[in-house]
């Protein structure tokens, strides 16, 4: 039999067809059910399926398009990882969770509309989707998990939700086509290397609600690499001191109006005389360590 189904769960597909129609009555696509089915080019998921399990379609390298029916609420971890021919994913607004590394290394994926009812996008969900050009994250997302869009080298347009509160580590690291980012008012933290290696990123807006900027958050961005943005070996974005050269020594004065010093940036420096402005309210973790 091509399908192994028990109690509504499709556990395994044993066929080699290029076009697959999942039988009616299936309510869940089980873990690794279609993993490495390299012949599949198209697949139809019936209404009634509520969850796509971990690794369900991983390494289906010929799969080109997928439509997720309105009954599905969960897309599991690694579910479409390395589906390198996948160009378009049509998800309905019933989907609330996209698991970790769900679409990791889907290098042909360029057309993506994230459902408006999404509340959770797992670590690395779209990491390495080098064909992805634009993304708009829905209002239900309050935290963007680690490395969700890292190494999306064609990503040039990002719209962040107004309800966003936290950007974790490496989220947009290596998005080399991204030239500007506006972080919404209300965001409190920007993780380490979250915009590192965004080599085209030159316009950055940081709101006054930020209370934490991680180590090397903007390292090797165009803004970082522009010498004109540095003052006395220190890099500021608005009122935030976000980076400093390791060579800083002796007398060092933080510019007036600065409210925040990012994590680790003066660690190990040879500063002997430090002047801190009255405007400063927050000093990042291990800032003066060593």
* Tens digit of each residue's pLDDT (9 = 90 or more) over 14-46: 999 999 999 999 999 999 999 999 999 999 999
Query: Worst-scoring range by mean pLDDT, 112-126, 161-175, 239-253?
Result: 239-253
Say if residues 30 and 54 touch (Cβ distance below 8 Å). no
pLDDT of residue 288: 63
Alpha helices in the chain (DSSP H): 222-225
The answer on pLDDT for 224 being more than 70 is: yes
From CA 209, how far away is CA 206, in angstroms rounded? 8
Q: What is the pLDDT of residues 164-186, one digit of tens each?
A: 999 999 999 999 999 999 999 99
Residue listed under structure tokens 């799969």: 63
Give the up-direction half-sphere exposure of residue 43: CA atoms within 13 A in the CB hemisphere. Answer: 29
The answer on pLDDT for 290 being more than 60 is: no
pLDDT bin (cut points 50, 70, 90) of residue 272 is: confident
pLDDT of residue 138: 95
What letter would DSSP give residue 47? Answer: B
Tokens describing residue 218: 């903007």
The answer on pLDDT for 213 being more than 80 is: yes
Q: Give me the sign of the Cα torsion angle 132, 135, 140, 146.
A: positive
pLDDT of residue 33: 98
Q: Average the pLDDT over 105-119 and give the result.
A: 93
* Distance, CA of 47 to chain centre: 29
Say if residues 41 and 21 touch (Cβ distance below 8 Å). no
Neighbour-count burial for 189-212, b at 16+ CB within 10 Å, e otherwise: bbbbbbbbbbbebbebebeeebeb
Q: What is the pLDDT of residues 199-209, one digit of tens each?
A: 999 999 999 99
The answer on pLDDT for 287 being more than 80 is: no
Say if residues 217 and 240 touch (Cβ distance below 8 Å). no
pLDDT of residue 232: 86
What are the phi and psi torsion angles at 46 (to 5°)?
A: -80, 155
Name the fold adopted by 1-100: 3.80.10
Residue ranges per domain, the chain?
1-100
What letter would DSSP give residue 18? Answer: S
What letter would DSSP give residue 229? Answer: G
pLDDT of residue 274: 79
Say if residues 54 and 74 touch (Cβ distance below 8 Å). no
Q: Average the pLDDT over 4-17 and give the result.
A: 96
Say if residues 260 and 282 touch (Cβ distance below 8 Å). yes
From CA 27, how far away is CA 71, in angstroms rounded? 9
pLDDT of residue 215: 87
From CA 7, how far away is CA 74, in angstroms rounded? 19
What are the phi and psi torsion angles at 10 (to 5°)?
A: -85, 105
> What is the widest separation between alpha-carbon atoms in the chain?
77
Per the prediction, the chain carries an average pLDDT of 93
Q: What is the pLDDT of residues 62-84, one digit of tens each?
A: 999 999 999 999 999 999 999 99
pTM: 0.92
Residue 90, strand partner residues: 67
* Distance, CA of 74 to chain centre: 18
pLDDT of residue 289: 58
Position with higher pLDDT, 27 vs 246: 27
pLDDT bin (cut points 50, 70, 90) of residue 250 is: confident
């Amino acid at each position: 039999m091509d399908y192994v189904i028990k109690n509504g769960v499709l556990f395994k597909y044993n066929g080699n067809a290029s076009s697959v129609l999942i039988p009616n009555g299936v309510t869940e696509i089980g873990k690794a059910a279609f993993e490495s089915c390299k012949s599949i080019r198209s697949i139809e998921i019936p209404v009634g399926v509520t969850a796509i399990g971990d690794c369900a379609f991983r390494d289906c390298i010929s799969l080109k398009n997928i439509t997720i029916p309105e009954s599905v609420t969960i897309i599991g971890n690694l579910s479409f990882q390395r589906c390198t021919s996948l160009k378009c994913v049509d998800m309905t607004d019933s989907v609330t969770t996209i698991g970790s590394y769900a679409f990791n290394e889907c290098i042909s994926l360029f057309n993506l509309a994230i459902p408006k009812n999404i509340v959770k996008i797992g670590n690395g969900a779209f990491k390495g989707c080098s064909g992805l050009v634009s993304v708009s994250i829905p209002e239900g997302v309050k935290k963007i998990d680690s490395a969700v869009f890292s190494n999306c080298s064609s990503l040039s347009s990002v719209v962040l939700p107004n309800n966003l509160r936290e950007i974790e580590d490496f989220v947009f690291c290596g998005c080399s086509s991204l030239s500007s980012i506006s972080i919404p008012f209300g965001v409190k933290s920007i993780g380490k290397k979250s915009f590192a290696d965004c080599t085209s990123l030159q316009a950055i807006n940081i709101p006054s609600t930020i209370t934490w900027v991680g180590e090397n958050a903007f390292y090797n961005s165009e803004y970082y690499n522009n010498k004109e943005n540095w003052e006395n070996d220190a890099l500021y974005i608005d009122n935030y001191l976000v980076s400093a050269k390791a060579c800083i020594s002796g007398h060092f004065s933080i510019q007036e109006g600065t409210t925040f010093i990012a994590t680790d940036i003066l660690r190990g420096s040879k500063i002997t005389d430090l002047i801190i402005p009255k405007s400063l309210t927050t000093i990042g973790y291990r800032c003066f360590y060593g």
